[in-house]
Amino acid sequence: MKKKIIFTGGGTAGHVTVNLALIPKFAQDGWEIKYIGSENGIEKQLVARLDHVPYAGIATGKLRRYFDWNNFKDPFRVIKGIFQAYSLIKREKPNILFSKGGFVSVPVVLAAWLNRVPVIIHESDITPGLANKIAMPFATRICTTFPETTKGLDKKKAVYVGAIIRDELKRGNRERGLAFCGFQADKPVLLIMGGSLGSQKINQVVRQNLDSLMRYFQIVHLCGKGQVDETLDQPGYKQFEYINEELADVMAMADMVISRAGSNSIFEFLYLKKPMLLIPLSRAASRGDQILNAESFRKMGYCEVLQEEEISTKTFLQKVADVFNNRDRYIAEMSKSNSDETMNQVIEMIKQLAK
């Protein structure tokens, strides 16, 4: 009889990436796979690209740390989501649930626990997000990407595993990336990523200094939904809201990256040995997780960091120059890292805990 696994996680691409990496492995092994996400979240679009992975959308609320009138409505949506997820899981009878986090995961994890289904949670950042903090008491195992994360968690549940890298990123081709963007082979390529939702702060400083950057680089700019500036269309500068199929090739051709400091992305850059300038989300706009992620990488010698509050034309261009001029040193440090075994370790854990 086929074993069955349900995946959950969403809200941003970062809460789906690890699931997208694991799903093909279980499909190859003959497992039946389902996905539970929000009714209209980005996870629905991303999972739709996968063959034979049924998607179920449930009601959910956003877990905010600030005042918003929706805070009074969302608990009722979460309760509705719990009932929906409970019914789904009771009907599907999965052997295990794998959760990547995000606000949609809370009702799904709780519903799995109520159905006595083992739950594995994956936490990418150094400090757990609010959704995972709420869900962790109901988990069987908690996988962490950073070793520091396990210190604040239940020792019986927490396991440091490292980062899970999507197989398709390992197959990227520089020549295909150059052809996709229409770039030359003899001029360095700068890749700029602001996360799946984009970053107005990064977009702004890049565009203000575009002429200076383009003296030295060809630039591919992933600027987020609705943030393409059509007035800046010119040779050597390519803008995209988001890239799916061609992302591996685009990353393969990059000589340097400017990015937010979301865990999934920076570990992918680490695996691919791409020198990084990280501009983490400020504490004013987040819980500070990206600042901690970036600082951990800086201490390891993998990147340079520029805080949002310190951004100016002078500091930005100086940091870009520092990273690019010292790229060989960063590549040498990143070459000492090894994350190849993480995927197999997590897959084996899932198989062992599946009831």
| Residues annotated in a binding site for UDP-N-acetyl-alpha-D-glucosamine | 12-14, 166, 196, 290
For the beta sheet containing 237-240, the strands, ordered from the edge strand earlier in sequence to the opposite edge, are 237-240, 218-222, 189-193, 256-259, 276-278, 303-305
Residues facing 121 on adjacent strands: 99, 142
Angle between helices 200-208 and 313-325 (to 10 degrees): 90
Residues facing 240 on adjacent strands: 222
Alpha helices in the chain (DSSP H): 17-28, 42-47, 70-92, 105-114, 130-135, 174-181, 200-208, 210-214, 247-253, 263-272, 289-300, 313-325, 327-334, 342-353
Distance, in Å, from the CA atom of 281 to the CA atom of 298, rounded to the nearest integer, reads: 16
Strands 141-144 and 119-123: parallel
91 CB contacts (<8 Å, ≥6 apart)?
A: none
What single DSSP character describes residue 234? B
Distance, in Å, from the CA atom of 40 to the CA atom of 132, rounded to the nearest integer, reads: 21
What's the number of CA atoms in the CB half-sphere (13 Å) around residue 335?
A: 6
CB 230 within 8 A of CB 296: no
Distances in whole angstroms, Cα of residue 210 to Cα of each of 177, 207, 259, 315, 317: 21, 5, 16, 15, 10
CB 262 within 8 A of CB 14: yes
CB 4 within 8 A of CB 92: yes
> 10 Å Cβ neighbour count for 215?
6
